[in-house]
Each structure stands twice: as structure tokens, then as C-alpha cells.
């Protein structure tokens, strides 16, 4: 249930009474069982001569002692972090005279009660955190005196969170602190707001590669990072959440691979007039084998030669490919039409087999997955006809959830449809637009001249427009893409939603379109639209997220990915800017 609370101020303090700063930093000794991994730091820096100080990686008693000592010297805690499971506390302090109130290491309900009480006393949250300590989910927040309207939004559903965020932005509120964490297997979201009117933007739930690659475009448009959050459950992949505003703010974003490197960056940037503005530690496990330690060749999926003739289609395929399950009956089809459909069906079977192996390889090689997801990516445009066998092109920037949805759908297509179900085919005339589910010459709803349809599960209707052409290899490729498109109808994704081709997608204000997302241009619009510049960051995040979700539910996004990777594998020659594909990951992939 959504909880929106008008900002509260808090004076109670469980473990802390005041704020503290420390000039040195202690590097914690990590448990031997995880010694091969490390803590990384996502950090923001801004032009400043405030003389901020750091306390790094201290057990609670030492951190509290340092906090109290620096408070006596006139510093105040403005940002704190707690490392999951090892209970090491870090903080950023700056000179100040205000009274700091805090609750650290308490349960959620206790913090919310104090939050509400302090709100009434005129305090404003400076920083909110959640972490695991001793197997328990802990919460903490620090507050200072403030004025003006504010609100707090807490949700465990991303779409509901965006709706609440959008409503608050429209009321003149802006996020000052965003947090996300995993609680009992479910991701939760929290944001603190204050009154402001500056334009906003966001990049939410992306990889470090995506964030760092797109950062300069935000800076060029006058945006600065207002808040950074990193989510990295122990042993899992890190995702970044960045909130931007057209106002002053940090102008440097760094990711440091160790605490020592982080301290070195702090010193380096201080010499250039920048100081730490936000710190985000997260646990990182680098599972990639080091080149010197590689005893065997890197893992990959070889793509065998097409050395065995399939008599039904007249095409050759690898001997190791599972046998093609052709449709049972070709009602209304003449001999030429039957042959052509069989060639397209067999090629679709092959292409999906290749795509399924590629996705399965990524599922079992998580340390290389993001690199494989992006490898060979070409920015879609008319110059390259959107040619891509990189999943990035058809499903959006890599996230673990996005990969799992696409991988599950392709696996279902291969195992449930190509290998598990027998379909029926009908060749239908589209001369008169009559009959049940006709092959329209001109569809009165879409204005299109359809090539095929799959309106009743299990029966594929091929229309005149889908049977024009010949028996050349290029025809088999095109027919295979059509077969894959049709077989994706009625397929449910990992979240239980149907794949289809009719979608409503919005671009700010009332600019929404409901249309069939046929073709490479529309498919890549779903996978690439960044939310535009209209409205607020919340609307931008909602529109971008919605487009990516629909890319994962659109027939042609899957059909074109499978078509391109399958065509490159079958032909073993370059095509529209893509290198030959004789293995997955492709030749040249860096392990």
C-alpha cells in the first residue's frame, strides 16, 4: 500500500545524538570467505571548499565516537552509509551549526513513528538508509531544521511508486533522497521530497556502463546529479539510480574498485576544488577469470556447419539441430505454397534454436552476460536497416530482470512451441475480406494488408501477401521471421503477460498512440525511447520504463532479434554491418 507522509522532523536518537566527522579512514578487514571480492564505491563530487571530512568503514562504536568528536569540532553528518552484513558505517561531514537529530539501526515502524513526530517539529530528513545487520533489516535517518513543504513516498511496486512520484512532482515537490532495497525478496522504493520547481530527469535501474555512457548528454542539457543510489544485493549485479535536476549539483561521478582507490580519488578531486557529495558502497564479486589463470579456452557455443539436408524443406541444417516439427496439414495450400511455408518454418526452427542457445549461454555465464548482451550493438537507423544481433537493440539496456524476461520468452518459444506443439496451417485468400478471421486485402482496423495471422491459438493463417515471393534463401529468411512473429502470439512472459503486437505508448502530456508495433523502426522505438524531455523526471522514468516493458511484450522485437542472430549464424557471412557469426559470443568477444 502506498504511504505518502507529509515530511516529519525527528529528535529522538537511538544510537546517535548529534553528528560527527573524521579526517582519517579505517579499511575494514573482510571475512576470509569473501576475500576474493571487494567493496566498491559509487561516488559524486561537486565544486566545494566546505572542508568536508570522511569516516569510512567503522564498526558502530568507533563510528559513533568519531561522530561525536567531529560534532564537537563544529561538523555535522550530512550523508551516511552502512555496508550490508558486515555492519561497517561510513559518513560525510561538513561544517555546520544546526542541531542534528537521528535514529540509526531501528526497525521500520519505529523510524516511521519518529519521522512523523519530527516532521511536526519542523525537521527535514537529510539522509535515509536501509541495510542488513546481523540478518535483520535495519533503518536509519538523520534530520535537520528546515522549512517549506515536503513529503515522503514509500512503495513496494515500481509502477505505483512512479505514479506517486509523478503526482508529487506536479504538486511542486522534488526528490532530495531516493533509496531502494530488497526486503523479504521484494524490492522497495522510498523517496523524500521538498518543495522546488526546477526541471528534473532520471536514469533509473541501469548498469554502470549505461549511466556513465549517457551522463555527458545530461550534463550538456544543463542537468546535474541530485542523488545517486546503488542497489547490489550480496553476490548480485549492481544497478544504479540517478536523479537529475537543472540546478547546481555534483559534476563528477566516479565508480572506484576498492576503498583505497576511493580514498585516492577523494584526495585527487579535492586538489581540483571538488569535494565528496554522496557515497554509495556496494559489494562486488568479480567472477571473471584472470587471463593468466585461464587453463582452458574461454566458453562459447559453436555454431555448426549446415551439413545435413532436410528433405521436407530442401534446406541444409546442422546434424546436431533437433528435428523440425512441421505443421499438421496445410489446408487450402497448393504444392508451391506448402513448400514455401515449410522452408520458412524450418528456418524459423533453426533461428530460434540459435537464439535459445545464445540466451542459455548468457544465463549460465553471468559474469559475461552484460558484455554479451551489448556485443556487436549498432545504434538502429536507416543506414544499417536496424541490423542487430545484440539483445541490447531489441530489449533495451541490460538489466538482470530484462534479460530474464527475454530469455524465458525465447525458451518458451523453442521448447513449448517449436518442440512441444503441433500447429495447423491454412492458406487463405484475401480477395474478398469475407469469412471468420479473414485475410483482409485491406484490414479496416489497421489499414494494412496482412501477411499472416494467429487469431486462434494453434492455427496459423497465411494470406496472399505472405505467400508472394519465391524459394530463394532470402525468402526463407523473411518467411522465418513471419513464422516467429506469429508463434509469439498467445505466449506468456515470465511475469504472466501476453506477447502481442498492439500497444499503447505515450510520449508526454496527452500524446499517446495505440498501434500495431510492426517493423524494425517501431520495434526499436520501444527498446530505445528515453522518455523524452516533457514534464518531470517521474514522467520520463514512467514513459521509458513503459516502452521497455512493451519491447519485451512485442512480437516483432523478438522476431527481429531471432531473425538477425539466426540469419548471421546460417549464412556465416557479414550482413548489413554485422560480422559473421560462427559461435556465440561472436568471434572477437573479449573474455
Q: Is the pLDDT of residue 125 over 60?
A: yes
The reported pLDDT for the residue numbered 445 is 65
Inter-residue contact 22 to 55 (CB < 8 Å): yes
The reported pLDDT for the residue numbered 1 is 29
For residue 567, is it within any domain? yes
**Number of Cα atoms under 13 Å in the Cβ half of residue 437:** 15
Do 452 and 405 share a structural domain?
yes
Q: Is the pLDDT of residue 535 over 60?
A: yes
418-447: pLDDT as tens digits: 999 999 999 877 666 666 566 766 666 666
Do 319 and 279 share a structural domain?
no
Do 483 and 360 share a structural domain?
yes
Per-residue pLDDT averaged across 122-135, rounded?
91
For residue 95, is it within any domain? yes
Do 277 and 354 share a structural domain?
no
Q: Which residues contact 253 (CB under 8 A, 6 or more apart)?
A: 42, 43, 44, 45, 211, 212, 215, 225, 228, 242
For residue 479, is it within any domain? yes
Range of the domain at 575: 303-584
What mean pLDDT value characterizes the chain? 86
CB count in 10 Å sphere of residue 431: 10
Do 330 and 270 share a structural domain?
no
CB count in 10 Å sphere of residue 350: 27
Cis, bond preceding 219 (omega within 30 deg of 0): no
The reported pLDDT for the residue numbered 433 is 61
For residue 298, is it within any domain? no
The reported pLDDT for the residue numbered 291 is 45
For residue 445, is it within any domain? yes
Grouping H, G, I as helix, E, B as strand and the rest as coil, residue 4 is strand
For residue 295, is it within any domain? no
For residue 296, is it within any domain? no
131-149: pLDDT as tens digits: 999 889 999 999 999 887 8
Do 264 and 324 share a structural domain?
no
Nearest residue to 399 via CA among 164, 540, 559, 232: 232
Do 310 and 250 share a structural domain?
no
* Continuous H helices in 229-288: 259-271
Do 230 and 338 share a structural domain?
no
The reported pLDDT for the residue numbered 186 is 84
% of residues, the chain, pLDDT over 70: 87
| DSSP H/E element including 65 | helix 60-72
The torsion angles phi and psi of 56, rounded to 5 degrees, stand at -125, 135
d(CA 233, CA 130): 12
The reported pLDDT for the residue numbered 95 is 96
Q: Is the pLDDT of residue 321 over 90?
A: yes
Looking at the structure of the chain, the number of domains it has is 2
Do 332 and 278 share a structural domain?
no
* Continuous H helices in 121-252: 158-170, 208-220
Lowest average pLDDT, out of 310-324, 456-470, 491-505, goes to 456-470
More confident residue, 497 or 185: 497
DSSP secondary structure, 493-551, as one string: -TTSPBPBSEEEEE-STT-EEEEE--HHHHHHHHHH----SSS-HHHHHHHHHHHHHHH
Inter-residue contact 528 to 534 (CB < 8 Å): no
Do 349 and 274 share a structural domain?
no
Do 129 and 21 share a structural domain?
yes
Residue 517's pLDDT band, with cuts at 50, 70 and 90, is very high
Give the domain CATH number at 491. Answer: 3.40.390.10
Q: For the chain, give the longest Cα–Cα distance.
A: 91
Do 259 and 372 share a structural domain?
no
The reported pLDDT for the residue numbered 296 is 59
The residue from 250, 284, 318 where one domain ends is 284
Per-residue pLDDT averaged across 547-574, rounded?
96
The residue from 254, 284, 314 where one domain ends is 284
Residue 5's pLDDT band, with cuts at 50, 70 and 90, is very low
**Number of Cα atoms under 13 Å in the Cβ half of residue 573:** 2
For residue 289, is it within any domain? no
Amino acid at each position: 500500500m502506498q504511504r505518502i507522509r507529509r515530511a516529519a522532523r525527528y529528535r529522538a536518537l537511538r544510537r546517535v545524538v548529534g553528528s560527527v566527522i573524521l579526517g582519517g579512514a579505517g579499511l575494514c578487514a573482510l571475512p576470509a570467505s569473501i576475500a576474493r571480492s571487494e567493496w566498491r564505491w559509487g561516488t559524486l563530487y561537486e565544486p566545494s571548499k566546505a572542508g568536508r571530512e570522511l569516516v569510512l568503514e567503522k564498526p558502530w562504536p568507533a563510528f559513533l565516537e568519531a561522530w561525536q568528536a567531529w560534532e564537537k569540532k563544529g561538523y555535522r553528518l550530512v550523508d551516511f552509509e552502512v555496508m550490508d552484513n558486515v555492519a561497517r558505517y561510513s559518513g560525510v561531514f561538513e561544517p555546520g551549526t544546526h542541531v542534528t537529530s537521528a535514529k540509526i539501526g531501528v526497525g521500520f515502524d519505529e523510524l516511521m513513528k519518529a519521522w512523523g513526530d519530527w516532521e511536526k517539529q519542523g525537521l527535514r530528513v537529510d539522509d535515509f538508509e536501509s541495510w542488513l545487520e546481523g540478518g535483520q533489516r535495519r533503518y536509519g535517518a538523520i534530520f535537520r531544521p528546515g522549512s517549506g513543504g515536503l513529503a515522503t513516498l514509500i512503495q513496494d511496486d515500481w509502477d505505483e511508486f512512479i505514479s506517486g512520484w509523478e503526482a508529487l512532482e506536479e504538486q511542486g515537490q522534488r526528490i532530495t533522497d531516493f533509496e531502494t532495497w530488497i526486503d523479504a525478496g521484494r524490492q522497495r522504493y522510498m523517496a523524500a521530497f521538498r518543495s522546488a520547481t526546477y526541471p528534473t530527469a532520471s536514469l533509473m535501474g541501469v548498469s554502470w556502463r549505461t549511466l556513465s555512457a549517457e551522463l555527458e548528454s545530461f550534463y550538456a542539457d544543463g542537468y546535474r546529479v541530485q542523488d545517486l543510489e546503488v542497489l547490489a544485493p550480496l553476490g548480485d549485479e549492481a544497478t544504479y539510480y540517478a536523479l537529475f535536476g537543472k540546478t547546481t549539483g555534483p559534476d563528477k561521478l566516479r565508480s572506484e574498485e576498492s576503498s583505497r582507490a576511493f580514498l585516492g580519488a577523494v584526495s585527487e578531486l579535492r586538489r581540483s576544488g571538488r569535494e565528496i557529495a554522496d557515497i554509495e558502497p556496494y559489494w562486488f564479486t568479480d567472477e571473471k577469470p584472470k587471463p593468466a589463470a585461464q587453463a582452458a579456452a574461454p566458453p562459447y557455443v559453436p555454431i555448426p556447419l549446415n551439413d545435413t539436408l532436410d528433405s521436407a524443406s530442401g534446406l541444409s541444417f546442422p546434424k546436431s539441430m533437433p528435428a523440425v516439427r512441421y505443421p499438421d496439414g496445410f489446408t487450402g495450400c497448393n504444392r508451391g505454397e506448402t513448400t514455401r511455408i515449410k522452408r520458412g518454418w524450418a528456418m524459423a526452427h533453426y533461428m530460434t534454436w540459435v537464439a535459445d542457445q545464445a540466451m542459455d549461454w548468457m544465463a549460465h555465464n553471468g559474469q559475461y552476460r552484460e558484455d554479451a548482451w551489448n556485443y556487436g550493438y549498432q545504434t538502429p537507423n536507416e543506414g544499417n536497416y536496424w541490423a542487430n544481433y545484440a539483445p541490447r537493440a531489441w530489449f533495451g539496456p541490460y538489466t538482470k530482470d530484462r534479460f530474464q524476461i527475454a530469455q524465458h520468452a525465447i525458451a518458451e518459444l523453442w521448447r513449448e512451441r517449436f518442440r512441444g506443439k503441433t500447429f495447423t496451417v491454412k492458406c487463405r485468400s484475401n480477395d474478398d475480406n469475407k469469412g471468420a478471421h479473414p485475410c483482409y486485402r485491406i484490414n479496416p482496423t489497421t489499414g494494412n494488408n496482412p501477411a499472416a495471422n494467429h487469431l486462434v491459438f494453434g492455427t496459423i493463417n497465411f494470406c496472399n501477401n505472405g505467400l508472394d515471393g519465391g524459394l530463394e534463401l532470402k525468402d526463407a529468411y523473411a518467411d522465418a521471421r513471419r513464422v516467429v512473429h506469429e508463434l509469439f502470439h498467445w505466449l506468456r512472459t515470465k511475469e504472466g503477460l501476453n506477447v502481442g503486437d498492439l500497444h499503447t505508448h505515450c510520449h508526454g502530456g496527452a500524446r499517446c498512440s495505440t498501434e500495431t508495433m510492426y517493423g524494425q523502426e517501431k520495434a526499436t522505438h520501444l527498446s530505445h525511447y528515453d522518455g523524452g524531455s516533457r514534464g518531470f523526471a517521474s514522467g520520463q522514468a514512467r514513459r521509458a520504463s513503459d516502452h521497455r516493458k512493451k519491447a519485451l511484450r512485442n512480437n516483432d522485437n523478438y522476431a527481429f532479434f531471432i531473425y538477425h542472430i539466426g540469419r548471421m549464424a546460417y549464412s556465416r557471412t557479414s550482413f548489413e554491418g554485422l560480422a559473421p557469426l560462427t559461435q556465440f559470443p561472436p568471434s572477437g568477444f573479449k573474455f
